[in-house]
Amino acid sequence: MTWPEIVDLVCKVLRNLVVLAGSVAALFGSIAAWRGVSAWRKQLIGQDAYNLAKRLLTSIFQLEKAIKRFRSPSGPLLDLTEVDTIGAELDSLFLEAQVQWKPEFLAEAKKGLVACTNELRLQVSMFEELSERNRGDQEQEVFKEANRVRYGRVDGKHDDFSAKVEKTVLALAEKLRPHLKI
């Protein structure tokens, strides 16, 4: 082999190495871009789940406070409007949660919350109805139960209804807390 043939061969090898290096770089660039887009997509989905869990938990705690305010000694001055407003907001958030997560994810805990608000609403209406008329012995017992749910315990300790609301709120909070970690 002559010197010009060797130079020509070396140039061809170098050209091929440059093309190969460019192909390898393009391959690594594609892999890095794919991983970056995947990480970005996961971050967006995680951020949506985080925001939804945060809004849900905030509304749940607001509902718990609204129930406590309603049942407080100054409660007769209030009606159930605040509880109903927060309840309506929670309903739309629970629908959004069904889209974000599995429908059964919060279903049990939501049933408990709905049961608490329904019980409160029922007992308040019974309390109001029975407080406007003379009561017999049987109605007196119903009135006492309605009064207990309406106002809670006078001595400031937790009653059964408060404990039920608290337990339901804690169950929902436990289900949502893993989604609040980014």
Confirm whether 133 is domain-assigned. yes
Distance CA 72, CA 75 (A): 5
pLDDT at 47: 86
Structurally, the chain folds into a number of domains equal to: 1
As a whole number, mean pLDDT of residues 37-43 equals 77
Distance CA 168, CA 153 (A): 19
Residue 156 confidence (pLDDT) above 60: no
pLDDT at 53: 92
pLDDT at 79: 77
Give the range of the structural domain holding residue 135, as residue numbers without chain letter.
Answer: 51-180
As a whole number, mean pLDDT of residues 146-169 equals 75
Confirm whether 39 is domain-assigned. no
Confirm whether 8 is domain-assigned. no
Confirm whether 44 is domain-assigned. no
Residue 61 confidence (pLDDT) above 90: yes
Catalogue the E-assigned strands of 102-150.
none
Q: Which residues contact 60 (CB under 8 A, 6 or more apart)?
A: 90, 113, 169, 172, 173
**Please, which pLDDT band fits residue 93 given cuts at 50, 70 and 90?**
very high
Confirm whether 175 is domain-assigned. yes
As a whole number, mean pLDDT of residues 79-102 equals 89
Distance CA 165, CA 64 (A): 7
Q: How far apart are the first and last CA of the chain?
A: 65
> What are 169-178's pLDDT values in tens digits?
998 999 898 8
**Please, which pLDDT band fits residue 76 given cuts at 50, 70 and 90?**
low
Confirm whether 55 is domain-assigned. yes
pLDDT at 90: 92
Distance of CA 133 to the CA centre of its chain: 43
Structural tokens at position 68: 């406590």
Confirm whether 124 is domain-assigned. yes
Residue 179 confidence (pLDDT) above 80: yes
Confirm whether 113 is domain-assigned. yes
